[in-house]
């Protein structure tokens, strides 16, 4: 058994950094370990235009600690008023790497999202033409669909019909949570479909949220599902299938906001993600597959180079200590607790 693992510095292909004081409080925890990250655009107001994305990128860069090297990869929030020319210009400039589809009302700050896909068909068609990926929050919001079935329903009702209409459109199914989504990606032969998997969905199932009392710090959207789905995600992540890669969906909310009667959805995993992943992959006898999942598969899909800088993870005899909470200018944020001791630490 090895106690040292050296991999290219990883990237995070799905990240929430928020804005203002929260941005300043959390960005360093990602920049400490990750070279690049696809940054979600669901601010208030959302990042809709190329000008919005440029301004947000500048605020992120200003918040990165001076000792750290980190590149934010910007996205645009798709609305029914999105301008296809603006999207194309933002991509051509090198600023924007993807466009994000939020079904209206599906998750945090998704009120400006899309209710009718027909109204954005022209934008999606243009994206297919220029090779700009669409990142999807894959849940329907119909009130008649059980929350645990929303991802499977999205595939059948929305995603598969969309991809049949636009087979050339690159799609990333973000933060997949079900065996249904894993099977859908595995069955694809187009080369235009991939999926991100979060750290926490590899570790928790819905019992962690509900059994023995409600645990709001395990509540996220899409919500964690049954154990069989967690195991399907673990199998996919550890399989060496290049269509699956890391997107932490690290999503900071203040503890005050998490503990409201209608608490916010999101789990903050940035500080301890790499320790958690090394534990998971070692547990599944797949430590040699972590490099592809965290460092290689994402750049391959996004047609970007693998990072040349290396990360060293070392296993130590005593547990690694992570703070239960971090302090930000916006308030305290609880760090994800995997429920077990972590022995792998990032050395460099």
Other CB atoms within a 10 A radius of the CB of residue 310 amount to 11
3-class secondary structure, 75: strand
Distance CA 16, CA 265 (A): 12
45 preceded by a cis bond (ω within 30 of 0)? yes
3-class secondary structure, 97: strand
Distance CA 320, CA 341 (A): 7
- Phi/psi region, residue 320 (left: phi>0; alpha: psi -120 to 50; beta: rest), is beta
The strand pairing partners of 326, in sequence order, are 333
Phi then psi for residue 340, to 5 deg, are -150, 160
Instruction: Match 């990869």 to its residue by tokens.
Output: 73
Active site residues: 249
- Phi/psi region, residue 131 (left: phi>0; alpha: psi -120 to 50; beta: rest), is left
Distance CA 243, CA 245 (A): 7
């Amino acid at each position: 058994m090895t106690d040292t693992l050296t991999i290219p510095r990883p990237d995070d292909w799905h990240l929430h950094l928020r804005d203002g004081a929260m941005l300043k409080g959390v960005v360093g925890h990602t920049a400490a370990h990750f070279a690049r990250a696809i940054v979600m655009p669901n601010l208030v107001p959302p990042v809709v235009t190329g000008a919005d994305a440029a301004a947000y990128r500048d605020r992120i860069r200003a918040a990165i600690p001076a000792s750290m090297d980190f590149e934010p990869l910007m996205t645009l929030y798709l609305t029914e008023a999105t301008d296809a020319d603006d999207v194309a210009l933002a991509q051509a400039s090198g600023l924007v790497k993807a466009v994000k589809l939020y079904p209206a009302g599906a998750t945090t700050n998704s009120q400006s999202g899309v209710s009718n896909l027909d109204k954005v068909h022209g934008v999606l068609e243009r994206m297919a033409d220029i090779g700009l990926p669409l990142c999807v929050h894959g849940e329907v919001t119909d009130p008649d669909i059980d929350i645990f079935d929303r991802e499977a329903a999205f595939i059948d009702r929305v995603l598969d019909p969309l991809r049949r209409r636009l087979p050339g459109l690159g799609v990333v199914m973000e933060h997949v949570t079900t065996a249904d989504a894993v099977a859908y990606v595995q069955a694809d032969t187009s080369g235009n479909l991939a999926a991100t998997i979060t750290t926490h969905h590899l570790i928790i199932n819905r019992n962690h949220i509900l059994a023995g009392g409600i645990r709001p710090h395990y509540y996220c959207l899409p919500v964690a599902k049954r154990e069989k789905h967690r195991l399907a995600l673990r199998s996919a992540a550890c399989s060496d299938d290049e269509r699956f890669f890391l997107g932490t969906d690290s999503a900071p909310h203040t503890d005050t906001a998490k503990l409201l009667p209608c608490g916010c959805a999101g789990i903050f995993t940035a500080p301890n993600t790499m320790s958690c992943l090394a534990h998971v992959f070692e547990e599944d006898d797949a430590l040699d597959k972590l490099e592809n999942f965290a460092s290689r598969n994402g750049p391959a899909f996004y047609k970007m180079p693998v990072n040349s800088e290396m990360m060293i993870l070392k296993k130590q005899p005593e547990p690694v200590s992570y703070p239960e909470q971090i302090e930000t200018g916006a308030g305290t944020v609880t760090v994800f607790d995997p429920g077990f001791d972590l022995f792998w630490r990032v050395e460099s």
